[in-house]
A and B are shown apart, each in its own frame.
Chain A
Amino acid sequence: MEFFFSQVLSGIASGTIYACLALAVVMIYQAIHHLNFAQGELAVFSTYLAWQMLEAGLPYWIVLLLVVLLSFGLGWFLQMVVMRPFQNAPMLSNIVVFIALFTIFNSLTGFIWGHDIKTFPSPFGFGPLVENLGISRHQAAMMAISAIILTILWAFFRFTRIGLAMRGAVSNPVSSGLVGVNVMAITALGWGMASAIGAVSGLLVAPVVFLEPNMMLSILIYAFAGAVVGGLTSPGGAVLGGFIVGIVESLVSTYVPVIGAELKLPIALTLIIVVLLFQPAGLFGRRDIQRV
């Protein structure tokens, strides 16, 4: 039984990683109603920026702040310059543009910083949080930071005028525009926020999995799985979904003998398909109902 609990804890630990990125995925879904396949690569790019600044000797917290601001700017820029012409394009065009962004940032990161693995520091350290509990201080910090981001996001959507405008701009861009919401700026804000959250998740993930250009690809799949399990319309659900995915992954790879420790991606795939089949809006998501 103790072994079981330690597996669950290790699942929760990797679940935090997925939860962070799942949050960014849901965030951008809230802002533009698309899944951004380049999300992971943007986060990796931001993490490399942070690595560069840390190498230059800047203190961690200043770097964090700078990178969050820079990533916000990058997201804003991408929406305003690259995505803007595609706002009324069919979905397929949008997906192709996301793929293009994916290859651009993946290749750019590799070109600037090389493909070798880099270590990334954690300001929290890797010592155990409490004796005999399988959670390190860094993992605890990841959970705490995810919780903080989640709270801020919840408050943002619930209590601020801009949050309300963003919800409106997604559910009905035309009417929102008519009542004076600057839909374009709001969408750009959504992109910026998603990139900023992605950057934070990159900075938190990098110490655990090591920094390299393809760091986020498999994590992104788990994050998608988490977002789907929780529901694409629910930030809190996405975080919980991330944890569920982490725990399922850890338990399945321990107790199902066929699936080795290295071959865990099919689990995420199965989770996505099963959840979509039985609960298409996710566990906590809203189902969109459209009038014919």
Chain B
Amino acid sequence: MALTDTIHTQAPPTLKAIIGGLIAVAAIAVPFLLDGFQVFQATQVLVLAIAIMGLNLLTGFSGQFSLGHGAFFAAGAYVTAFFLTDGSFPYVGAVLIGGVVCFILGLAFGFPALKLDGIYLALATFSLAVAMPQILKLSILTEWTGGVGGLVLMKPEAPQGIPLDADQWLYFVVLAFAAVLYCLVTGLISGRTGRAFLAVKDNPLAAEAMGIRVTNVKVLAFGYSAMITGVAGGLSALVTAYVAPDSFTLFLSVNILVGLVVGGVGFIPGAIIGAIFVHFMPTAADSVYQGLQGVIYGIVLIAIMLLAPKGIGGLFRR
């Protein structure tokens, strides 16, 4: 059984440019229109969108699968936090180092993942997600992870001379990361590597016959995907100024996956739709009926899968 359906559509270029421009203007206007807490929430949505984009690269384009991307998110967050505990290291550098570490971790996990397909990969990554908080609490790692208490870091302030408060500044930092990563990802998938990813996803045998090294491509996809999600994790550490094992439970991984599927697998801008869904849906469900949050969330999720099997993003791409 196929993991996902592949969607191929191209929006007309002018329409694309107009929509892209509108989104860019809206994204820049957001921190000036909303109050402090809402800006903070918008930043978190962006962080989640980056993580979802990372998973999309893996699932939507190379046809692999992960229920445990929260683990890479956590790794990125911890590496970043580790460098920033004393406040002297440049924070952008710390986030990038987090990304690099996750790239290596992703390659390392990608190799065993090669041998697994479908259900077994789901299982291995699912248990990775469940085990992650406990791995972070392991006593041998306490020196670096701070154990149960986690790590506190300094929230970066806007540089001198820029009239923005810390929340607004962080929003723009995250937005810049999101924009750069978006361009990198779209560039990657429209080029040679991306075509190789898609070929491997749609028909590994044929891809191999065409001279694509399926093994390398799959492992590389895992690496890139983990790197992007790791950068998102690092940014989340900046945003919340605190990392602790229990922020990286199974539900983080589930949120990333649900965001991906809701936004549309293989549709990169869908990440933002998915991020908005997973960030606001629980609160919205709670306001519908206090206490039955999970039930409403689940029912909405099933309804989306039923009515829009290719995700909300898929609805625009018929």
Contacts and interface: CB of A to CB of B under 8 A. Distances in A.
B124 A276 contact: yes
B123 interface: yes
Q: Place the interface of chain B in its size category.
A: 35 or more
Contact of A89 (B119, B257, B295, B309): B309
B186 interface: no
Contacts of A111: 291-292, 295
Interface string B288-305: 000111110111011001
B306 interface: yes
A276 B120 CA distance: 8
A142 interface: no
B21 interface: no
A221 B131 contact: yes
B292 A108 contact: yes
A176 interface: no
Given A92-B261, A228-B120, A265 B131 contact: yes
A276 B5 CA distance: 26
Given A93-B261, A97-B305, A224 B294 contact: no
A227 to B, nearest CB: 9
Contacts of A262: 134
A135 to B, nearest CB: 28
B305 A96 contact: yes
Given A92-B59, A111-B292, A259-B138, A292 B205 contact: yes
A130 interface: no
A225 to B, nearest CB: 7
B127 A258 contact: no
A117 to B, nearest CB: 19
Contact of B302 (A97, A108, A228, A264): A97
B111 to A, nearest CB: 9
Interface in B12-55: none
A147 interface: no
A86 to B, nearest CB: 7
A82 B298 CA distance: 11
Interface residues of A, number: 50
Contacts of A162: none
Contacts of B154: none
Interface string A220-243: 010011001000100000000000
Given A93-B305, A280-B116, A106 B1 contact: no
A126 B119 CA distance: 38
Most buried by B among A29, A91, A103: A103
A90 B3 contact: yes
Given A266-B138, A292-B205, A224 B123 contact: yes
Given A90-B3, A259-B138, A268-B131, A277 B298 contact: no
A53 to B, nearest CB: 22
Given A259-B138, A280-B120, A86 B294 contact: no
15 contacts: A86-B305, A89-B309, A91-B1, A91-B118, A92-B4, A99-B257, A100-B299, A100-B302, A103-B294, A104-B294, A107-B292, A258-B138, A269-B131, A276-B115, A280-B115
6 residue pairs, one from A and one from B, having the closest CB atoms: A107-B294, A104-B298, A100-B298, A100-B301, A103-B294, A269-B131
Interface of B: 1-5, 59, 65, 67, 112, 115-116, 118-120, 122-124, 126-128, 130-131, 134-135, 137-140, 205, 250, 254, 257-258, 261, 265, 291-295, 297-299, 301-302, 305-306, 309
